[in-house]
Amino acid sequence: MLKQFFDWVGNLPPLAQVPVVIAAFVAVVGLLLFFLEVAPRSGRGYSILRVVVSIAVPALVLFLFGSIWWAIAIAAVLGGALFLMDYRSKQGKGYILQLVGFLAPAVFLLLIGLVYPSIQTIFAAFYSSRGRFVGLENFQWIFSQPDNLVTIRNTIIWVLVVPTVSTIAGLAYAVFIDRSRGEKFFKILVFMPMAISFVGASIIWRFIYGYREAGQSQYGILNGIVTLFGGTPVNWLQQAPLNTFLLIVVLIWVQTGFAMVVLSAAIKGVPTEQIEAAELDGTNAWQRFTNVTVPGIRSSLVVVLTTISIASLKVFDIVRTMGTAYPDTGVIANDMITLAQNFETGRSAAFAVLLFVLVLPIVIYNARIIKKQREIR
């Protein structure tokens, strides 16, 4: 049984589990690929193989999951697939079987892990925590509380500021250090924050924003600078709405490394000939940058902006570890968890749906780009 396998693995020393699981995983993927490769071939040997597989796989599933229903379902699917394969579809032998084989693992995991929970959450948004249908009441609650409005405003500020600033900073840095001496070293300096967990980052930034009353020795560097010039120390994170921006700085600090690394690779992909040609035509550095480099890395820019936008919508660690003690720092992702932990499932789900709605523009924009790319191909 699958569970027994994981049980057995679980009893190994932690580091021994790694090679065992990876080996098992690679073996499964390898067998799948092997079968997909040979399944459509003709010849008696392959026919026997097909028969063996269509009996062995359901039996294996029965053995692994301990569920007769899964075994039946898979036997039906496999049998159907093999039948269709022999039916010689227009695209060639084994077409559907191969398609299913390549896509099934990903689709199966996405369905149980992302699609099914999303649908469940969307339904939950219209029910009270006790399971009574309440219609739009949860959403009314969201928009009637001033605190929640601040949370929504903060989330929008995050998603507007973080991607813009970190992409610009990362791009500028990547361009400046491109082909310079010590480029690798410079890259690592800015990349380093990415290697730090948000938990670590929140510790780091405590030594930046830290506050003690005037007269005491400061341990936060900002107040250290302020007192150095004779000012009164400020309790930075207590100042709304400044504190939201101070927390945003932390995420920018982390995400710039991502933008820089990806964009730097993209810049190196822009043909030097194009830049040289532009230079021959007497363009200056800025014109070359906007007319040659930027169009050349456009799709990378879109990917970076999209990824960082989604990251900043999902941000909760920074706010949770640094901001919860301070006023007006809430963001949707964090409030959602807090509500869920207080068993307010309906309201939490309503926030989740709101978050989903906020991301829709990004998806639609990307969907249009994907479609355009497909048309070119």
Partner 1 sequence: MTSTVGADLPLPGATTTRGAVERADTGNIARRSKRRLTSRGATIASLIIAVLWTIPTFGLFVTSLRPQDQITRSGWWEVFGKWDLTTENYQTVLGNEDLTRSFVNSIAITLPATIAPLAIAALAAYAFAWIDFRGKNIMFILVFALQIVPIQMTLVPLLTLFSRGLHAGNATLFSGFQGAGLYTQVWIAHTIFALPLAIFLLHNFIAEIPAEVIEAARVDGAGHGQIFLRIVLPLTVPAIASFAIFQFLWVWNDLLVALIFATGEASPITRTLAELTGQFGRSAYLLPAGAFIAMLVPLIVFFALQRFFVRGLLAGSTKG
Residues 249-308 that bind partner 1 (CB under 8 A): 253, 256-258, 261-262, 264-266, 268-281, 285, 296-297, 299-300, 303, 307
Binding of partner 1 by 71 (CB under 8 A)? no
Q: How far is the CB of 215 from partner 1 (least distance, A)?
A: 13
Site for partner 1 in 12-51 (CB under 8 A): 14-15, 17-18, 21-22, 25-26, 29, 33-38, 40-41
Binding of partner 1 by 138 (CB under 8 A)? no
Binding of partner 1 by 131 (CB under 8 A)? no
Site for partner 1 in 85-114 (CB under 8 A): 91, 94-95, 98-99, 102-103, 105-107, 109-110, 112-114
Identity of the residue numbered 123 = F
Binding of partner 1 by 321 (CB under 8 A)? yes
Residue with Cβ nearer partner 1 (104 or 136): 104
Q: How far is CA 228 from CA 165, 213, 236, in A?
A: 29, 14, 16
Own/partner pairs, 30-39, CB within 8 angstroms, 24+ separation: 32/101, 32/105, 35/101, 36/94, 36/97, 36/98, 36/101, 36/102, 39/82, 39/85, 39/94, 39/97, 39/98
Q: What's the burial of 58, exposed, middle or buried (CB within 10 Å: 0-12/13-18/19+)?
A: buried
Q: What's the burial of 166, exposed, middle or buried (CB within 10 Å: 0-12/13-18/19+)?
A: buried
Q: How many CB atoms lie within 10 A of CB 235?
A: 15
Identity of the residue numbered 353 = V
Q: How many residues form the binding site for partner 1 (CB under 8 A)?
A: 144
Gap between the Cα atoms of 102 and 106, Å rounded: 8
Report whether 351 contacts 336 (CB < 8 A): yes
Contacting residue, 75, 137, 157, 178, with partner 1 by CB under 8 A = 178
Binding of partner 1 by 57 (CB under 8 A)? no
Identity of the residue numbered 34 = F
Residue with Cβ nearer partner 1 (44 or 181): 181
Contacting residue, 226, 245, 314, 327, with partner 1 by CB under 8 A = 314
Specify the DSSP class assigned to residue 196: S
Length of the chain: 377
Q: How far is the CB of 267 from partner 1 (least distance, A)?
A: 9
Contacting residue, 129, 138, 151, 218, with partner 1 by CB under 8 A = 218
Residue with Cβ nearer partner 1 (237 or 261): 261
Q: How many whole angstroms from its chain centre is CA 178?
A: 27
Q: How far is the CB of 33 from partner 1 (least distance, A)?
A: 4
Binding of partner 1 by 184 (CB under 8 A)? yes
Q: What's the burial of 120, exposed, middle or buried (CB within 10 Å: 0-12/13-18/19+)?
A: exposed
Q: How far is the CB of 17 from partner 1 (least distance, A)?
A: 5
Residue with Cβ nearer partner 1 (146 or 319): 319
Residue with Cβ nearer partner 1 (210 or 330): 210
Contacting residue, 43, 217, 230, 325, with partner 1 by CB under 8 A = 217
Contacting residue, 54, 128, 239, 366, with partner 1 by CB under 8 A = 366
